[in-house]
Amino acid sequence: MFIRAYLRASTAGQDATRASGALERFAAEHSQRIACEYVENESGAKADRPELLRLLADARAGDVLLVESIDRLSRLPESDWKRLKAAIDSRGLRIVALDLPTSHQGIKDSGGDEFTNRMLGAINSMLVEMMAAIARKDYEQRRERQAQGISKAKADGAYKGRPTDDDLHKRVRELLAAGLGVRAAARHAQCSTTTVMRIRDQLTEHM
């Protein structure tokens, strides 16, 4: 069984590998080992995440896509989630999430009768869909609360905007000037590819 672990954090300031130990322990408890890890700092509301796309490209039928929770895999709107889920299904991947017990059958050697396996599979598929919808709703509610907070702060004259990380910007500019691509620069600077592209675009505007 080939297990591909996907670890994601939303921002460069967060540790995307935080759940690595928990995933490894979970696999060991089921007499399995994680064969490959895909780690990135990208928003779950984005569909074009480089490491997730690489995982899909690498995957083979029967592989397990192991995540800490469904919201690590997706906070996508419904249309984007359906496309991602279709891609996962087309590659023959089985989604297993630590916080979704019904998915744990995907990491076990198949057993039981066909009817039971199909019933459990159908129930798990329904719960994965539900958890993906909850993850998106949570994302939208947090964004709405954030926007309300910013709006109030602006009205009170207290909003200053997000401070610029001058050291990070300098590091990214140096890496880009050295000829590194977006993904390589993001890896060396330990930030998201979105941040690198934003800094690159700012440089272009001032040229």
3-state per-residue secondary structure call for 99-125? CCHHHHHHHCCCCCCHHHHHHHHHHHH
Is 103 a domain residue? Answer: yes
C-alpha R_g of the chain: 20
Q: pLDDT value at position 163?
A: 64
Do 119 and 189 have their domain in common?
A: no
Do 82 and 180 lie in a common domain? no
Asked if 10 is an active-site residue, the reply is: yes
Question: Residue 42 and residue 57: Cα distance in Å, rounded?
Answer: 18
Domain count, the chain: 2
Q: What is the pLDDT of residues 165-207, one digit of tens each?
A: 788 888 888 888 888 888 888 888 878 888 888 888 887 765 5
Q: Is residue 144 part of a domain?
A: no
User: Would the pLDDT of 110 be above 70?
Assistant: no
Does residue 156 lie within any of the structural domains? no
Q: Is residue 18 part of a domain?
A: yes
Parent domain of 18: 3-137
- By three-state DSSP, how is residue 98 classified? coil
- The secondary structure of 10-43 as a DSSP string is SSTTS-TTTTHHHHHHHHHHTT--EEEEEEEE--
CA 158 to chain centre: 33
**pTM (2 decimals)?**
0.71
**Does residue 51 form part of some domain?**
yes
160-170 per-position pLDDT tens digit = 666 667 888 88
95, 65 in Cβ contact below 8 A? yes
pLDDT digits 0-9 by tens, 3-50 = 999 999 988 778 899 999 999 999 999 999 999 999 999 999 999 999
Does residue 158 lie in a domain region?
A: no
Whether 28 and 78 map to the same domain: the answer is yes
Q: Which entry of 10, 20, 43, 125 is annotated as an active-site residue?
A: 10
> Does 191 lie in the same domain as 100?
no
Quick one: 100 and 179 in the same domain?
no
Q: What is the pLDDT of residue 162?
A: 61
Does residue 148 form part of some domain? no
> Strand locations in the chain, DSSP E?
3-9, 34-41, 64-67, 94-97
Query: What is the pLDDT, as a whole number, of residue 161?
Result: 60
Query: Strands 64-67 and 34-41, how do they pair?
Result: unpaired
